[in-house]
Chain A
Amino acid sequence: MKPVFVRPQSLTDKPFHFCPGCHHGVIHRLVAEAIDRFEVRERTIAAASVGCSVFLYDYFDIDVVESPHGRAPAVATGIKRTNPDKFVFIYQGDGDLAAIGTAEIIHAANRGENLTVVFVNNTVYGMTGGQMAPTTLLGQPTTTSPYGREFGQDGYPIKMTEMLAQLEGVGFAARVAVDTPARLAQARKAVFRAFETQMEEKGMGFVEILSSCPTNWGMKPVEAVRRIEREMIPYFPLGVYKERKGSDAL
């Protein structure tokens, strides 16, 4: 009998701590599948972020370096520049990448660091209990935008994929979601492409994944999944924003 569903080898057997309905677990799995698919477990070094994904190192059976909040792109630059033969990925939430770490991600992208970036956008600071993130949608209430985000007060939700796709150092930039099986398949493809971008030394491979946070959205898991299609995708359109072809010069 051929198994149709197995646990990726690069995941440990520790159960995820994520809340029910949280997409971090699904996204972890996508990354693990890519590590297995490209057979890079033994030469992968990840830089973990701060946020609900801080325990990345408990779930992946790979070498992981913890980074201060927002600094994973700099830590990963240090890893990759000193170990160009290794496969290096970072995994960051929206608070981590789009607020405290904006400078680090923009400059790592602009330098064309050969890194794979998995950017989890759940429009909220998860781990610290649901405060407003730079990605929080207009009108969305959070613990620090109790009347809903209002642009005159808080500015607009930031679109990182569109911003980074502009930079010459980015080889691949896409926004995906994992709320339906069809989108999950596209997300897998995008993560794989971001891995390949690094192997082909085409600069940064960036994937933004729209993700749910039922706990801090105050929603049941199914409702939270629906919110992705209803509210997030219209503001954060899915798609491949940049793909450097083989012949394009870096």
Chain B
Amino acid sequence: MSDSKVTFEKGNVALAKAAVAAGCRYYFGYPITPQSDIPEYLSGVLPRVGGQFVQAESEVASINMLLGAGATGKRAMTSSSSPGISLKQEGISYMAGSEVPGVIVNVQRSGPGLGGIAPSQGDYFQATRGGGHGDYRVIVLAPASVQEMYDLTVLAFDLADTYRTPVMVLADAMIGMMKEPLEEWVPQSPEPSKDDWAATGAAGRPGRRIKSLYLGDGELAEHNWKLAQKYERIRREETRVQTELPEGCELAVVAFGSAARIAKSAVDRLNDEGRRVGYVRPITLWPFPDEAIRRVAEQGVPLLTVELNTGQMVEDVRLAVEGRAPVHFAGYPPGYLPSPDDIYDEIVRRLPAGEEAA
């Protein structure tokens, strides 16, 4: 880190600033609450730093603009919120299939359908299962603070380029709209060269194809296996998780994003009170940190998954645990944002000594 300065910033703006710091000069989007601070900020800044801001006619168009920009090797981004992300899935599938890098931001609101604009984590399945058609994955980063809106966005651009794949930053209305201190920093790692694959005009070489259509005998299977190997490498090298496991842990809470920061307050209070409660926060939702969770379960520690939905990540937790320990679930679908006290009570209900109270 260098040239760092601390400001008091909104999550969405922190994310937009990070994109600029990461060298992103091109943004394509369509307005939707609660992420509109991102295009509003970038529409002011990008033209002044030699970039382009395009307000597209739809989310469908904006993701395809990202596909075009990414195919030429340029760092570019689009952002939206849940219903808009559904519309982007076609383009995300094409980007994954054509191995085009790009950053997609989802500041989740609540669904299904038009739903509401309150924070939610209802898009976990959509984000972590690829979302569009076909056999592919998207790297999904889940910030839990304004600072992480910045840090993980910078990381998103690096990962997208390194693996030539779309990367999603999965935030929600709470992280996007709240203000916190932010330490801005300028990334030092150079943008990887794209000379060997990008569509830049066939100067002195044969034409290149950025494509996902493979009709030849066995060609598509080969392409799918190649993608699968890439995803395997990402799994090995890019899984990120924050784990805090006290000696003699009685129970560990698993949560991501805004649910994690609420849960963390409850976990800290319990530990202050002398209980031994662990905390596992997936930072990458795909690749999912199943090894870290398995290790907790192997010690026989029960887990409590807390999510702002009716139960999505808990399925991944159960898959990781494979029956080695009990997995409890506390879900808060849109409309009621839990307080640290709510989660405190949930944990206490699950703690061995608190079971009678349940």
Contact = CB atoms under 8 A, between A and B. Distances in A.
A111 B207 CA distance: 29
B202 A41 contact: yes
Contacts of B76: 78, 82
A60 B26 CA distance: 28
A68 B201 contact: no
Interface stretch (A42-50, A130-138, A214-222): A42-50
B207 A79 contact: no
A219 to B, nearest CB: 27
Contacts of B56: 74, 77, 107
A78 B69 contact: yes
A76 interface: yes
A79 B201 CA distance: 11
Dominant secondary structure at the B interface: mixed
A86 B210 contact: no
A86 B201 contact: yes
Interface in A57-93: 57, 60-68, 71, 73-83, 86-87
Contacts, number: 143
A76 B61 CA distance: 10
Contacts of B207: 12, 57, 60-64
A76 B94 CA distance: 15
Interface residues of B, number: 40
Given A41-B202, A68-B64, A79 B91 contact: no
B44 to A, nearest CB: 17
B198 to A, nearest CB: 8
A80 B357 CA distance: 64
A41 B207 CA distance: 9
Contact of B211 (A60, A66, A71): A66
Given A77-B68, A78-B28, A82-B69, A66 B74 contact: no
Nearest to A85: B201
B98 A66 contact: yes
Contacts of B58: 103
Contact of B64 (A12, A41, A74, A111): A74
A103 B200 contact: no
B57 A79 contact: no
B226 interface: no
A63 B199 contact: yes
A196 interface: no
A44 B200 CA distance: 8
B209 A64 contact: yes
A66 B212 contact: yes
Contacts of B57: 103-104, 106-107
Given A63-B199, A63-B207, A71 B60 contact: yes
A99 interface: no
B91 A71 contact: yes
Contacts of B277: none
20 contacts: A43-B201, A44-B202, A45-B72, A45-B200, A57-B211, A63-B201, A63-B208, A65-B67, A65-B98, A65-B199, A66-B94, A66-B209, A67-B67, A71-B64, A74-B61, A78-B64, A81-B26, A82-B76, A107-B56, A111-B54
Interface of B: 25-26, 28, 52, 54, 56-58, 60-62, 64-72, 74, 76, 90-91, 94, 98, 199-204, 206-213
Interface of A: 12, 41-45, 47-48, 54, 57, 60-68, 71, 73-83, 86-87, 103-104, 106-107, 111
